[in-house]
Structure 1
Amino acid sequence: MLHKKRIVVLTGAGISAESGIKTFRDSNGLWEGHNIQDVATPQGWYKNPELVLDFYNQRRKQLLQVKPNDAHLLLSKLEEKYDVNIITQNVDDLHERSGSTKVTHLHGELRKVRSTIDEYLIYNWDKDLNIGDHCECNSQLRPHIVWFGEEVPNLTIAEEITQTADILIIIGTSMQVYPAANLIHFAQKDIPIYFIDPKPNINKNQFDNLNIISDMASQGLKKIYKLLN
C-alpha cells in the first residue's frame, strides 16, 4: 500500500469568517464588543465569572447556528488522497463537522467545558454554562478555552505534527499570534508551503518554496485543491 503524502494545515479565524463567525479580534482590539482582558484572561474570570460565562454562552449559541463553508469541506475532501492533519487556532468545531478526522485545537474548544481544579476533567457541553455547574469533584466548570497568559497544552503535539509535513498549508491566520506563529519554523526546509490570505503579510524571502495566494479561504483552497488532485 502506497504511503499517503501528509498535508499539515494551520488554520485561524479567517477560515471560519466565511461561515459567519466573527474573527477573534476586530481592528479596535475588541472581541464581539468586549475588551479581551475582560473575557479571555484568567484575571477576567476571577474578576467577573458571570460576564465570562455569558460571553462564551453567546459564542456557543452562535456556533450552533452556523455551518462549515467550502474551505472546511475542501480540507475534509483532501483526506481522500492525503493524510491530512489540521492544527487550528479556532475554538469552533467546523473542521470536525465538515468531516476532517485529525484536528488539533491549540486554543481550546467552545463546545467543551472543564473543571477549574483539574484541567483534565473535560466535558462536552452545548447548553449554557452557569455559576453552580460543577464537575464531578464539585468544582465550578469553566469554558475549555486557552486564555491569554495560560499555557497552550497542545503546542508540543502541534510542533511534532508540523515536522512530519510533506506539504504545509496556512489559511486564515496572520501568523502574528504566538506561540502558534512559530509553527511554520518546525516544517522541513524543502517542502512546499501555501499561504492563503486576502492581505498576506508574510515575507516571501523568509521561506523556500513559499506560494502566496491572495484570496479568501474558500477561493484559495479551490486553487490548491485543483493543484493537488
Structure 2
Amino acid sequence: MWDAISEKLQDAEKIVFVTGAGISQESGIPTFRGKEGLWRKYDPMQLATIDAFYQDPKLVWEWYEERRRNILDAKPNPGHLAIAELGKYKNVHVLTQNIDSLHQRAGSKNVYELHGSIITIKCTVCSFKDKITTGFSQLPPLCKCGNMLRPDVVWFGEALPQDVWEHAMKQASTCDIMIVVGTSLAVSPANLLPVYAKQNGATMVEANTDPTPMSDIMDISLRESAASALPRLVNIVSG
C-alpha cells in the first residue's frame, strides 16, 4: 500500500486535502459525531441554527465562547504540520470543514474554510466582519451599528460562502491526488468534493480510523490517525 502511495506522490504535482474534525481531535478539540462528540452533549438545533441564535443568542454565544477558548488553547498536531510541510514540495491545497484555523497556524498557505471560522465575527445586519482578539464584556456582543454580532460560521440550513465553495470545487476538480482526512463525509455539500476529484481521475486516498460512506471510491485507505499517517507522506516526498 505504501509503495503505491509513494509512486503516486512522487509523480503528483497538485495534492488536495479534505479535512474534518478527526484531524483536530488529536489537538484536543472534540468532534461532533464521535463517541465523545459535542452533539451528544447538546442539541445542535438549539445551538447551530439561525433560528436558535435569534431565540436565545446569549446561550449560543456562551457555547461558542467556550469552544473558541478551547480552540485557541489547542496547538496544531503532527497531522496539521505534515500537511504544511508537504506544501514545501508540492502544490498543496486544503479544503477544510473545520472552523479552528489550525491549518493556518501550522503554516499551510492555501486553506479554504468551507464552514467559516470561529475566530471571526460578523454583523447580523451590516457588512462588518473582523477577527476576535479578546473576550466580550457582554453577550451577545453588539456591532457599532447596534445590531447583534454572530460567529462567522456556517450553521445548519445556511449556504456555504459562495466564493470559498467555488474555489473548493475548482481545486477538487483539478488535483492529481485527493487525500481525505478525519471526516465522516456525512455533511453536504462538502461530501461532493471527493466525487469531483474522482471524476477528474485523481488518485483517492483516505486517512481515517474508521470507514466512511465513501470508502468504496477510495483507491487507498489508511486506517490510521492523521498524526500517524501524514508525517510519512512528507518522508516520501522529501526523500
Whether contact under 8 Å (2:18, 2:181) holds in the other structure is yes
1:37 aligned residue: 45
**What residue in structure 1 maps to residue 134 of structure 2?**
127
Residue 218 to residue 39, structure 1, CA distance change in 2 (3 Å): same
Structure 1 residue 192 and structure 2 residue 200: aligned? Answer: no
Aligned to 1:113: 121
Asked whether the equivalents of residues 87 and 108 of structure 2 are also in contact (C-alpha less than 8 Å), the reply is: yes
Question: TM-score, length-normalised on structure 2?
Answer: 0.86
Preserved CA contact (<8 Å) 1:11 1:86: yes
Bigger mean CA deviation after superposition, 25-34 or 143-152: 25-34
CA distance in 2 between partners of 1:217 and 1:136 (Å): 42
CA distance, structure 1, for counterparts of residue 171 and residue 187 of structure 2? 19
TM-score, reference length from structure 1: 0.89
Q: Which amino acid counterpart does residue 134 of structure 2 have in structure 1? A: K
Distance 1:185 1:15 in 2: 21
1:177 is aligned to 2:187: yes
How many pairs were matched up?
223
**Offset at residue 6 of structure 1 (A):** 1.4
| Distance apart, 1:157 and its partner CA | 2.1
2:178 counterpart of 1:168: yes
Unaligned runs of 5+ in 2: 1-11
DSSP-derived class of the 1:51 partner: helix
Secondary structure of the structure 1 residue equivalent to 2:84: helix
Q: Secondary structure at the match of 1:161?
A: helix
How large is the Cα RMSD of the aligned pairs? 2.0
For 1:128 and 1:155, the matched residues in 2 are separated by 30
Written as runs of structure 1 = structure 2, the 5 A alignment for 1:193-212 is 193-203=204-214, 205-206=216-217, 210-212=219-221
State the distance in 1 between where 2:34 and 2:134 align: 27
Gaps of 5+ in 1: none
Residue 215 of structure 1 corresponds to 224
What's the % identity of the aligned pairs? 35
Q: Give the 5 Å matches for 1:82-93.
A: 82-93=90-101
Counterpart residue number, 2:235: 226
**Shift of residue 198, structure 1, vs aligned partner:** 0.6
Structure 1 stretches of 4+ with a deviation exceeding 6 A read: none
Give CA-to-partner distance per residue, 1:134-177, whole Å, 9 cap, x none. Answer: 33433211111100001111222211121121211110001111
Q: Distance in 2 between matches of 1:50 and 1:201?
A: 36
SS of the residue corresponding to residue 85 of structure 1 reads strand
